[in-house]
Amino acid sequence: MGKKGNNPGKLIIIGITILLAGFASIIPVLVQAQKVIPDSTKFLIGSRVGITIELETEKGALVEWPVFGDTITRSIEILSKNPIDTTGVKGGNKLLLRQNLTITSFDTGFVVLPPIAFKVTAVGQGPVELKSEAVLLEVQGLKVDIAKDIKDIKPILTAPYTLRDFLPWLLLLVALGLLGSLIWFYIKNRKKNKPLISLPSKPQKPPHVIALEMLEELRREQVWQKGQVKEYYTRLTDILREYFEKRFGVNASEMTSEEILSVMKDYLSEYSSMGDLRKVLTLADLAKFAKGQPIGAENELSLTYARTIIMNSSEAPAISEANRKEEIKDIPGNQNH
């Protein structure tokens, strides 16, 4: 009977021992420390407050750190998050994990920072969820003095100047500079009787090309065939006078036939050209002044003579301006000028 009475006590002792052994296996995880430390539990509405989240655990343990978004609760906003920092704990086989957050709140009164949960899986054990203690924060409102003017929560910050701030002024200076340059350029060219903007002109035709084209146009019009002999020779000699003026600089339009012959002997290198020129001018004077009537063959030859004179002298070198002036002085009737 005595032995049977002792059996229940032994069973109780064995049960307690087993429970203690089980708790002993759990204690290394449960004693791990986790906490949330704010820089201050009281702060002004809209102010920035730092909080430090810490978790101490054994080396080798697998930790699932909480993931934060833009807010912790509806009243607590996260402004910035630092990376998780891991350091060893002196005098032990433990690690300290730490993360710093910057929070703010725009709700006055008491705001609860809720417990933050961590999931830790120690070596050889199952996952255990650990939570920090809740923290009560007091968000203080502004003290408003109704008798004073309304002021900002914080003073206005002066933003640093950038190139964009000065760009409109720089463009204005450039525009004013360009406008001033255009005005100066306009005034300068106006004094010289020049256009403000000189457009590139088309290359002019050589004088002999222009003269030959005018002779061809005169031939096609058949002026003398229509009985207009005087008009024919007037246009023919005008073409030659204009050619001499553009090609050699001789003012032939103001000269008589004899003056032209006297001047052009230094320009027309071939003797035959001078003979042809004398024939054309003689027939022209006959038709214009003596009221003569050259025959049709002479009219055709005059056009041929004019074309030959132009073609033979198109590449002839022009004499100098000084020699030309001396030649003009030697023309009869010009010695007294």
| pLDDT, tens only, 205-255 | 888 899 899 999 989 998 888 888 888 888 989 999 998 898 888 888 888
In this predicted structure, what is the pLDDT of residue 263?
85
Shared domain for 227 and 325, answered yes or no, is yes
In this predicted structure, what is the pLDDT of residue 333?
43
171 domain-assigned: no
In this predicted structure, what is the pLDDT of residue 253?
84
In this predicted structure, what is the pLDDT of residue 137?
93
182 domain-assigned: no
Last residue of a domain, one of 120, 140, 160: 140
Residue ranges of the chain with pLDDT lower than 70?
A: 1-33, 151, 153, 192-201, 269-271, 291, 315-337
In this predicted structure, what is the pLDDT of residue 199?
62
22 domain-assigned: no
In this predicted structure, what is the pLDDT of residue 1?
43
Shared domain for 211 and 130, answered yes or no, is no
184 domain-assigned: no
150 domain-assigned: no
Q: Which residues pair with 135 in a beta bridge?
A: 113
174 domain-assigned: no
DSSP line for 238-281: HHHHHHHHHHH---GGGS-HHHHHHHHTTT--SHHHHHHHHHHH
Provide the number of structural domains found in the chain.
2
In this predicted structure, what is the pLDDT of residue 324?
47
Shared domain for 311 and 230, answered yes or no, is yes
- Burial class from Cβ neighbours inside 10 Å (0-12, 13-18, 19+) for residue 320 reads exposed
What distance in Å separates the CA atoms of residue 39 and residue 67, rounded to the nearest whole number?
21
In this predicted structure, what is the pLDDT of residue 153?
67
What confidence tens digit (pLDDT) does each residue in 28-51 have? 444 456 788 899 999 999 999 999
Last residue of a domain, one of 140, 162, 188: 140
Half-sphere exposure of 216 (CA within 13 A, CB side): 6
In this predicted structure, what is the pLDDT of residue 331?
43
What distance in Å separates the CA atoms of residue 17 and residue 23, rounded to the nearest whole number?
10
Last residue of a domain, one of 83, 114, 140: 140
Tell me whether strands 42-44 and 62-64 are parallel, antiparallel or unpaired.
unpaired
What distance in Å separates the CA atoms of residue 84 and residue 162, rounded to the nearest whole number?
36
Shared domain for 131 and 230, answered yes or no, is no
Q: Amino acid letter at 242?
A: E
Q: What CATH number corresponds to the domain at position 118? A: 2.60.40.740
In this predicted structure, what is the pLDDT of residue 316?
47
In this predicted structure, what is the pLDDT of residue 328?
45
Shared domain for 128 and 241, answered yes or no, is no
Q: Domain span at residue 116? A: 33-140
In this predicted structure, what is the pLDDT of residue 15?
59
18 domain-assigned: no
The CA-based angle 175-177-178, given to 5 degrees, is 65
CB 255 within 8 A of CB 321: no
Shared domain for 133 and 212, answered yes or no, is no
In this predicted structure, what is the pLDDT of residue 201?
65
SS3 call for 58? strand
Nearest to 54 by CA among 84, 94, 88, 90: 84
Q: Which residues pair with 120 in a beta bridge?
A: 63, 128
Tell me whether strands 42-44 and 135-140 are parallel, antiparallel or unpaired.
parallel
In this predicted structure, what is the pLDDT of residue 182?
86
4 domain-assigned: no
In this predicted structure, what is the pLDDT of residue 197?
63
In this predicted structure, what is the pLDDT of residue 198?
65
